[in-house]
């Protein structure tokens, strides 16, 4: 497109003018939360842009959606408003547009160095749902826990399996996670053990952020689902495998997951991801009509996980995967979620499920990478089967465009020892 | 106690001065939501009481917690404030206290006929968790779906099994519920069916309403759990058994439940329920230390379910049970929920699980009462195996005191046909 911003953007920046992801930040420790978009090494405070009257399109001119402490009100407005905001911001930031470029006072007020910004949760999450839509992950779990005959249950191929997650414990990247305590019954019929989890794991996921949503009782058609999806974040669905294993029959994961779920602070919009659309997977059996899309779209997003072992300076790549390994698309997930009449609200999160690739080096969890602790991973001088106290886990995600990169920043968290 | 209110309370009223349950209501269709307590056939608008400066205790004197559209802010204040509010209200409403009794203007403003009040959801529910803590229900489900050998899995006896529910679709009593659509695979390897649920059911539950809650990473001790529990409501965890059965392995119930969950509008406080405390069950094996209570307390609350079949004038009792059939107490549920560090927030709901008694006529769902549709129930002229379109399901709950009744009002909902 030849878009270029007057704000300096390094050639390897994840935040060029083609991206403009949304987040919520404090420019200084004492300030109120503001809504911003990332550009190069800066955050553009769009509450300042809004107060200056520069959102002059018909949908946003009189809206207070950017003078909020989270993005929910903006998300509720829907895709026409999202497109208007993007057009306004790309114009304001372009090197040919003088309004902001040549106004030193406004620029000073609106552009905050990203290094100084404290990032907060971008949305108030009403409900968080975690899907299980990656066939490699489902296969690996099936092989480990169910055996090689029919590792995947037949229902998996007929609907996007999911469970309700815990909304209260969703935290933003950089928040420490305390190792959870819980029960496990390691062997046979011995009484259960109780203590800090011995099998702390990550799950490499992305989450879709819901836009306007729907009223109770009014499903969203799969071919209209995209208009209800604002963007994507990276998500670490931290998992205590021992707790999860003992508690999860028959009602699914509970305390093995609910101690914390980390998301990246920047929501990359589907509009920014449009150049990275790729074909969805072949689905066999063909989906039932309510899940059948006119066009099945996935996104080509390179994902990587690093572990920085306790006390070390370096982090080590432990897996490389891609968001295109999604079997049920995010539109199918959303249509399925509402087909029973369940209402979604702005800011709800739909986790993708662990995004494993087809080969061992591309798996999305330590459970799979170490095959339930039987194959240790080397990280420089040390080895790991699960996460140890003081280890930091870092996810990255990016899309390589023609001469630019659209990135998600990072989603990181350090595991602290249980104080008990 | 010999407490008596100047407000006339019929001898069979569920809302004597000993009860004073909290709710949120509109006195007239256009008015803003107000917080109230039920007394006889009236709702006392406590925003009026607060504005008149009559909450004069040290904790509530300067609080705006009653000038809100839900109870969350009051819940956050904790038990000392709850006790202060109860003492103030019991005094103000007593027949020996002139302040309200003799002030016709204030009385007129504060006491609204319950018949005119539109009841709303009493809390904003951040997260809703549904436990599975009734041994009769767990046994019946096990017998139907797992067989008579070990109908209950060993983990059930070691921890209060639960799953995250859907918060967005919690509705107040009286809200119609649209029959959900979904998938089922009725037989063997045939392709799944899609359409309106053919096995609509209720689940007779109560839910505990969480008070102050806890920070992420800071568990609540089981012996302090009671201070985090404000009160109880009746809850109908509507369940589409066909959808649930096909989707729930391995991650638990999802769309079979998330189309709607109905709660009663009045939260009866644990303080009002104190006279109805009874011993908790013998637990074998003995609970792990983090679940071991100094005193194990249940509540003797008579529960009843009625169905008013479509087009009929009468409703028929289909089951009688009691909340004392809870295996894991509400304090144990709360302590377990937080032991991994999961944070609870004011207004969160903890569903008890289906409250079945030990005998067939006391089961808490049609699944159990009709033994998965094999034994039809007679309701006057008609029979039912599951809920049909136009049927209304009504729950009641009450505690019989010495000369008075503490009741929950009702929790009802009618199933409307799927419009698709
Ligand atoms: Ca997951
Ligand atoms: Ca239930
Ligand atoms: Mg999680
Ligand atoms: Mg429900
Ligand atoms: Ni939730």
Q: With a threshold of 0.90, does the pTM exceed it?
A: yes
Residues of B in contact with A172 (CB under 8 A): none
- With cut-offs at 50, 70 and 90, classify the pLDDT of residue B190: confident
Task: Identify the pLDDT of residue A418.
Answer: 98
Q: Quick: pLDDT tens for A105-129.
A: 999 999 999 999 999 999 999 999 9
Instruction: State the pLDDT confidence band at A149, using cuts at 50, 70 and 90.
Output: confident
In this prediction, residue A2 carries a pLDDT of: 72
A273 is written with which tokens?
């991801």
- Please identify which residue in the block is written with the tokens 């809206």: A63
Which residues on A lie below 8 Å from B289 (Cβ)?
194
B18-27: per-residue pLDDT in tens? 999 999 999 9
What gap in Å lies between CA B340 and CA B335, rounded to an integer? 9
Q: According to the model, what pLDDT value does residue B31 have? A: 94
Tokens encoding B173: 């009593």
User: How many angstroms does the Cα of residue A212 sit away from the middle of ligand 5?
Assistant: 18
From B163, B216, B290, residue closest to A194, measured CB to CB:
B290
Q: How distant is the alpha carbon of residue A184 from its chain centre?
A: 29
Pairing of strands B128-131, B349-351: parallel
Distance CA B122, CA B36 (A): 10
**Quick check: B178 and A341 CB within 8 A?**
yes
Is position A363 annotated in a ligand binding site?
Answer: no
C-alpha distances (whole Å) from B281 to each of A236, B234, B297 are 39, 21, 8
Smallest CA–CA distance, residue B36 to chain A, in Å, is: 26
Q: Looking at CA atoms only, how far is residue A244 from chain B in angstroms? A: 11
pLDDT over 70 at B1, yes or no: no
Tokens of B233: 């409501």
Q: Which of B160, B164, B259 should we substitute to test contact with A (largest number of A Cβ atoms within 10 Å)?
A: B164
Neighboring chain A residues of B154 at a CB cutoff of 8 Å: 185, 189
DSSP string, B232-255: EEEEE--EEHHHHHHH-TTT--ST
Residue A18 counted as an annotated binding residue: no
pLDDT value for B332: 98
Q: Minimal Cα distance from A261: which residue of B? A: B342
Tokens of B247: 């989707």
Mean pLDDT of B366-387: 97
Across the interface, of A127, A169, A288, the residue whose CB is closest to B216 is A169
- Is B132 within 8 Å of A159 when comparing Cβ atoms? no
Determine the pLDDT at residue B149. Answer: 85
* CA distances in angstroms from B362 to A165, B136, B359, listed in the order given: 32, 10, 5
Where do runs of H (alpha helix) occur along A185-320?
Answer: 241-247, 270-273
Alpha-carbon distance B253 to nearest alpha carbon in chain A (angstroms): 7
From CA B210, how far away is CA B122, in angstroms rounded?
Answer: 12
Judge whether A130 is annotated as a binding position.
yes
CA A82 → CA A56, A69, A90, A134, distances in Å? 13, 18, 12, 29
Contact A340 B243 (CB under 8 A): yes
- What average pLDDT does this structure show over A350-374? 97
Contact list, B191 vs chain A (CB under 8 Å): 158, 285
**Closest-approach residue (CA) in chain B for A154:** B189
Q: What is the mean pLDDT of chain A?
A: 96
Sole residue written with tokens 């007929």: A158
For residues A117 and A27, the answer to whether their CB atoms sit within 8 Å is: yes
Which tens digits make up the pLDDT trace of A170-220?
A: 999 999 999 999 999 977 778 899 999 999 999 999 999 999 999 999 999
Chain-chain contact of A168 with B343 (C-beta, under 8 angstroms):
yes
Tell me, what's the pLDDT at A9? 96
List the single best residue of B124, B254, B261, B287 to mutate versus A (max A Cβ within 10 A).
B254
Do residues B71 and B33 touch, judged by C-beta distance below 8 A? no
Among all ligands shown, which has an atom nearest to the Cα of B243? 4
Q: B340, B389, B415, B418: which to substitute to probe chain A, counting the most A Cβ within 10 Å?
A: B340
> b/e per residue, A212-235, with b = 16+ CB within 10 A?
bbbebbebbebeebbbbbbbbbbb
Which DSSP symbol is given to B29?
Answer: T
Cα dist. A202→A237, A288, A319, B412 in Å? Answer: 6, 33, 12, 42
Contact B341 A259 (CB under 8 A): yes
- Average pLDDT on A377-384 reads 96
Question: What size, in residues, is chain A?
Answer: 420
- The H or E element spanning position B206 is strand B204-210
Question: Phi/psi at A154 (nearest 5 deg)?
Answer: -60, -30
Nearest-angstrom CA–CA distance, A395 and A204: 7
- Residue B25: CB partners within 8 Å, gap ≥ 6? B33, B34, B36, B43, B112, B117, B118, B119, B120, B265
B155 chain-A contacts, CB cut-off 8 A: 185, 192, 246-247, 249
The pLDDT tens digits for B286-309 are 999 999 999 999 999 999 999 999
- Asked if the bond preceding B285 is cis, omega within 30° of 0, the reply is yes
The pLDDT value given to residue A148: 85
Measured in angstroms, how far is the CA atom of residue B351 from the centroid of ligand 4? 10
The pLDDT assigned to A86 comes to 98
**Contact at 8 Å (CB) between B91 and B101?**
no
Task: List, for residues A48-66, the tens digit of each pLDDT value.
Answer: 999 999 999 999 999 999 9
Query: What's the CA gap between A220 and A345, in Å, rounded?
Result: 12
How many residues would you count in chain B?
A: 420
pLDDT of residue A90: 98
Q: Cα–Cα distance between B338 and B331 in angstroms, integer?
A: 11
Q: For residue B170, what are the β-bridge partners?
A: B261
Please name the residue of chain B whose CA is at the shortest distance from the CA of residue A128: B166
- What's the CA gap between B22 and B8, in Å, rounded? 19
Contacts of B182 in chain A (CB under 8 A): 339-340
- The answer to whether residue A260 scores a pLDDT higher than 60 is yes
Cβ pair B161:A343 closer than 8 A:
no
Query: Does A127 contact B189 at a Cβ distance shorter than 8 Å?
Result: no
Token pair, residue A220, equals: 């969203």
pLDDT at B2 over 80: no
State the CB neighbour count (10 A cutoff) for residue B413: 24
Q: What is the average pLDDT across B112-136?
A: 97
For residue A287, what is the DSSP state?
P
| Distance in angstroms (rounded) separating the CA atoms of residues B406 and B400 | 7
The C-alpha atoms of residue A112 and residue A23 are separated, in whole angstroms, by 13
As a whole-number percent, the residues of chain B with pLDDT over 70 amount to 100
The residue written with tokens 């399996």 in the block is: A161
Tell me the average pLDDT across B239-257: 96
The alpha-carbon gap from B399 to the nearest alpha carbon of chain A, in Å, equals 31
Residue by residue, DSSP assigns A381-402 as TEEESSPPTT-EEEEEEEEE-S
- Apex B5 CA angle, B3 and B10, nearest 5: 100
Residues near A148 by beta carbon (within 8 Å), at least 6 away in sequence: none
pLDDT of residue B57 exceeding 80, the answer is: yes
Helices (H), A19-148: 46-51, 72-77, 79-93, 98-101, 104-110, 135-145
Look at A127 and B336 and tell me if their CB atoms are within 8 Å.
Answer: no
- Ligand closest to the CA atom of residue B166: 5
Q: Of these residues, B137, B325, B336, B337, which one is catalytic? A: B137
CA B115 to ligand 3 centroid distance, Å = 45
Closest chain A CA to residue B215? A169
CA A250 / ligand 2 centre spacing (Å): 12
Contact list in A for residue B168 (CB cut-off 8 A) is 126-127, 216, 342-345, 348
Instruction: Give the residues across from A281 on adjacent strands.
Output: none
> Is residue A153 a known part of a binding site?
no
Instruction: State the CB neighbour count (10 A cutoff) for residue A295.
Output: 11
Q: How many Cβ contacts (< 8 angstroms) between chains A and B?
A: 192
**C-alpha dihedral, B37 to B38 to B39 to B43, nearest 10°:** 80
C-alpha distance from residue B53 to each of A217, B48, B61, B73, B86 (Å): 43, 9, 7, 18, 15
3-class secondary-structure state, position B217 = coil
Contact A264, A171 (CB under 8 A): no
A343 contacts B167? CB cut-off 8 A = no
Rounded CA-CA distance A230/A271 in Å is: 8
For residue B305, the SS3 value is strand
State both tokens at B115: 């018949």
Reported confidence tier of residue B147, pLDDT bands at 50, 70, 90:
confident
Contact indicator for A341, A219 with CB cutoff of 8 Å: yes
List of chain B residues whose C-beta atoms are within 8 Å of the C-beta of residue A246: 155, 159
Query: Is A414 marked as a binding-site residue?
Result: no
Three-state DSSP class for residue B60: coil
Q: Just list the catalytic residues of A.
A: 137
**Distance separating alpha carbons of residues A81 and B297, to the nearest angstrom:** 54
Looking at the CA of B125, name the nearest ligand. Answer: 5
Confidence at residue A113, expressed as pLDDT on a 0 to 100 scale:
97
Radius of gyration of chain B from its Cα atoms, rounded to whole angstroms: 22
Has A405 been labeled as part of a binding site?
A: no
CA B298, CA A302: separation in Å to the nearest integer? 53
Structure-block tokens of residue A335: 């249509």
> How many Å apart are CA B50 and CA B45, to the nearest integer?
9
The DSSP bridge partners found for residue A35 are: A24
Position B340 confidence tier, pLDDT thresholds 50, 70, 90: very high
Per mean pLDDT, which range of A258-267, B141-150, B337-346 is the poorest?
Answer: B141-150
pLDDT at res. B42: 98
Do A168 and B126 make contact, defined as CB atoms within 8 angstroms? yes
Contact A127, B167 (CB under 8 A): yes
Kindly state the average pLDDT of the residues A129-138. Answer: 96
Torsion of CA A364, A367, A373, A376, to 10 degrees: 0
DSSP state of A81: H
Distance A170 CA to ligand 5 centre (A): 11
Nearest to B342 among A183, A252, A258 (CB): A258
Residue of A155, A210, A248, A341 for testing the chain B interface, max B β-carbons within 10 Å = A341
Main-chain dihedrals φ then ψ at residue B206, nearest 5 degrees: -120, 160
B222: CA distance to ligand 2 center in Å? 23
- Do the Cβ atoms of A163 and B164 come within 8 Å? yes
Biggest CA pair distance of chain B: 74
How far away, in angstroms, is B235 Cα from ligand 4 center? 9
Tokens found for residue B385: 């195996």
């Amino acid at each position: 497109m030849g878009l270029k911003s007057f704000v300096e953007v390094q050639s390897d920046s994840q935040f060029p003018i083609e991206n403009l992801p949304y987040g919520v930040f404090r420019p200084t420790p004492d300030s109120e939360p503001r809504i911003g978009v990332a550009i190069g090494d800066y955050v553009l405070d769009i509450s300042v842009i809004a107060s200056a009257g520069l959102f002059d399109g018909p949908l946003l001119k009189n809206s207070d959606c950017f003078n909020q402490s989270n993005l929910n009100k903006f998300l509720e407005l829907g895709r026409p408003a999202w497109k208007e905001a993007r057009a306004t911001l790309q114009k304001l930031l372009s090197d040919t547009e003088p309004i902001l470029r040549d106004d030193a006072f406004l620029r000073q007020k609106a552009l905050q160095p990203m290094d100084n910004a404290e990032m907060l949760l971008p949305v108030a999450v009403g409900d968080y749902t975690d899907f299980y839509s990656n066939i490699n992950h489902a296969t690996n779990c099936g092989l480990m826990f169910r055996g090689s005959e029919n590792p995947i249950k037949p229902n998996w191929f007929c609907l996007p399996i999911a469970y309700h997650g815990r909304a209260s414990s969703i935290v933003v990247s950089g928040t420490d996670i305390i190792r959870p305590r819980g029960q496990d019954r390691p062997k046979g019929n011995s009484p259960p053990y109780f203590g800090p989890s011995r099998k702390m794991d990550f799950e490499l996921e992305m989450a879709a952020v819901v836009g306007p949503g729907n009223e109770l009782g009014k499903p969203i058609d799969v071919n209209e689902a995209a208009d209800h999806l604002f963007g994507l974040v990276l998500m670490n669905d931290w998992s205590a495998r021992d707790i999860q294993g003992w508690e999860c029959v028959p009602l699914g994961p509970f305390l093995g997951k609910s101690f914390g779920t980390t998301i990246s602070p920047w929501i990359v919009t589907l509009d920014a991801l449009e150049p990275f659309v790729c074909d969805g997977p072949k689905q066999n059996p063909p989906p039932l009509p309510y899940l059948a899309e006119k066009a099945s779209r996935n996104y080509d997003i390179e994902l990587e996980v690093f572990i920085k072992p306790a006390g070390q300076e370096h982090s080590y790549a432990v897996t490389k995967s891609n968001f295109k390994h999604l079997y049920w698309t995010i539109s199918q997930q959303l249509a399925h979620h509402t087909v029973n009449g369940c209402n979604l609200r702005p800011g709800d999160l739909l986790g993708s499920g662990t995004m494993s690739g087809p080969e061992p080096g591309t798996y999305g969890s330590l459970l799979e990478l170490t095959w339930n602790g039987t194959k240790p991973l080397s990280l420089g001088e040390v080895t790991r089967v699960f996460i140890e106290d003081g280890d930091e886990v870092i996810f990255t995600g990016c899309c390589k465009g023609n001469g630019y990169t659209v990135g998600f920043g990072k989603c990181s968290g350090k595991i602290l020892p249980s104080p008990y």
